[in-house]
Amino acid sequence: MVIAGRSPDALNSAVDSLKSAGAQVAGVVADMTDKADIQRAVTFTRDTFDMPDIVVSNVHIGQGGGDGEGTFDTLTDEDYLAAFNDFTLSVIRLTREVVPAMKAKRWGRLINIGSCAAREPPRALEHLLHNVARAPVVLLNKTLANELGAFGITVNTIGTGWIATEAVEKFARDLNIGEDNMVRWVQENIGIPVGRFGKPREEGALIAFLASEYGGFLTGNWIPFDGGEHRSAW
C-alpha cells in the first residue's frame, strides 16, 4: 500500500500507524492536484510494490486555490479554473495513469472520496466551488463505469457528509463557533438524522467493501455517506 499526501508530518504519522498494525505501506509526499506529482506518486508505487489495482482518490483545494469558499458574486474565473483542476482534473489525470495496468490485469477498483454537496449543495455554506467542481466527477465515474466494466474495473464515488476529522475541526475554528459546538451548529443549520458526525473508520469500512471482491457488482454509483443528510429518494 502507498499513501500520498502533501504534509510530510501527517504522512509519516499515517505510515507509522499502519506499519504498527502490520501493514506493508510506504508514503510519498505529493500534491495529488498536480499532474507531475500524480505521475511521480504512481511511479513510486510501481517501483516500490507494483502498479496499483485499487486507487482511492481524495483531494482538497490545492495550494493555490484558497479554501474554496465564496459566492457567485465574489468568485473569479481563476477560482473556478483552480477548483476544476483540483477536484476534477486530478481524478482524470490519476485515472489515466493507473487504468492501463488495471485493464491488462482485468481487475481494478477506482474509488473517489467526494462530497454530498455534489448532489445537494447545503444552503448554509458558501461552498460554490466545491459544489460545482465535485459534481463532474460523479458523471465522470458513471461514464467510466460504462467503459471499464467489461475489464472487471469498478468505479464509484462516495458522497461524504460531516465526518469527525481535523478538517472539520478547522472549519469550526474558522467559523468561530468552537469545536464543542460544531455538531449543534450543523444540526441547527443543516440537520443530520442520526444526530452525530460520522467516524473516519466507518467510511473506511465502506471503502474496504468497495475495494473488495464483494464490491464487484457495485459500480457507477454515487453513494451518500452522510447520516441521512441527503434528502432525495434517489
Q: Which amino acid is at 227?
A: G
Instruction: Tell me the per-residue pLDDT of 203-233, one tens digit each, with 9 for 90 and over.
Output: 999 999 999 999 999 999 999 999 998 888 8
- Beta strand 26-29 with 54-57 is unpaired
Cα dihedral 93, 99, 101, 105 in deg (nearest 10): 170
Instruction: Tell me the per-residue pLDDT of 117-137, one tens digit each, with 9 for 90 and over.
Output: 888 887 777 788 888 999 999
CA distance 39 to 43: 6
* Grid cell listed for 55: 486507487
* Cβ proximity of 75 and 21 under 8 Å: no
Query: Which pLDDT band holds residue 65 (cuts at 50, 70, 90)?
Result: very low
How many CB atoms are closer than 10 A to CB 214?
Answer: 10
Mean pLDDT throughout 145-172?
A: 90
Q: Give the SS3 label for residue 114.
A: strand
Note if the pTM is more than 0.85.
yes
Distances (CA, A) of 47 to 14, 28, 42, 43, 52: 20, 12, 9, 6, 11
Instruction: Tell me the per-residue pLDDT of 182-202, one tens digit each, with 9 for 90 and over.
Output: 888 888 888 889 988 899 999
Instruction: Tell me the per-residue pLDDT of 149-158, one tens digit each, with 9 for 90 and over.
Output: 999 999 999 9
Query: Which pLDDT band holds residue 179 (cuts at 50, 70, 90)?
Result: low
**Residue environment code for 180-202, b if the CB has 16+ CB neighbours within 10 A, otherwise e:** eebbeebeeeeebeeeebbeeee
Return mean pLDDT, the chain.
90
Query: Is pLDDT at 98 greater than 60 in this prediction?
Result: yes
Query: Is pLDDT at 63 greater than 50 in this prediction?
Result: no
Show me where the domains of the chain are located.
Answer: 31-161+198-225
- Beta strand 222-225 with 153-160 is parallel
Backbone angles phi, psi at 223, to 5 degrees: -110, 110
Q: Give the CATH superfamily of 31-161+198-225.
A: NAD(P)-binding Rossmann-like Domain (3.40.50.720)
Instruction: Tell me the per-residue pLDDT of 66-76, one tens digit each, with 9 for 90 and over.
Output: 555 788 999 99
Query: What is the pLDDT at residue 127?
Result: 80
Query: What is the pLDDT at residue 68?
Result: 59
Backbone angles phi, psi at 5, to 5 degrees: -160, 165
Query: Is pLDDT at 55 greater than 80 in this prediction?
Result: yes
CA distance 167 to 187: 18
